[in-house]
Amino acid sequence: MMKMPQGTYIAVDGAIGVGKTSLAKIIAEELDARLVLEESMSNPFLPDFYRDPRRFALQVQLTFLISRHRQQSELNQLNLFDRMVVTDYVFEKDHLFAYLNLDEREYELYRRVEQLLSADIPVPDMVVYLQSTPERLMTNIRIRDVDFERSITPEYLKELCEAYSQLFFHWDKSPLLIVNASRIDFINNEKHRRSLLEMIHRMPAGTTYFNPET
């Protein structure tokens, strides 16, 4: 089992279908860490959003914002008393989806609420960004075949990938590990999984890129 300082907080993120929740579970099991998953499936507006994005974008974003803020606020208490923590998102991701999906007035309203809520959000000690292509993401989404995700388009995934790239290109809050998720199979390939976990264990400073050997 890997050893890290008590209270270490690792966040995994990436676009829809990239495998961030699966990787977060693997890391948490390896580290014997507390796993905190975003409550995406419990958002009552999410199926409506995929059916009619224009009508339900603001409702789905504010619901996600409040849910993620509650979870992140609780992490401040968990890190005082608990073991290591692994999440499958960074709080800043919410802003990406708001920017893509809200109109100008809705976005301004969202930003005002976000600014009020973001003051007490903990910063991860390390972020693992799973970077992939829209084509690979679309394949993964089709394989897992979640009902309300069937309406996701390649165009939307392309915009989302670009937004994530911009977010992490400017990321300087904590060490960042960028993983080429188009070339890695950390679920079925033991060599890939161990190599990635060893890299995470080292927690390299700054921004590091991981491209697994075939």
Q: Which tens digits make up the pLDDT trace of 4-41?
A: 777 799 999 999 999 999 999 999 999 999 999 998 88
Tell me, what CATH number does 107's domain have? 3.40.50.300
In a domain, 127, yes or no: yes
- Taking only the tens place, the pLDDT of each residue in 150-194 is 889 999 999 999 999 999 999 999 999 999 999 899 999 999 999
| The pLDDT of residue 30 | 92
Give CA–CA dist 161/14, Å, rounded: 8
pLDDT at 1 over 50: no
- Give the H or E element holding residue 86: strand 85-87
In a domain, 3, yes or no: no
Total domains in the chain come to 1
| Entry pTM | 0.91
> Which structural domain, as residue segments, surrounds residue 144?
9-210
Cα–Cα separations (whole angstroms), residue 179 to 40, 43, 198: 23, 28, 13
Q: 176-180 and 207-210 as β-strands: parallel, antiparallel, unpaired?
A: parallel
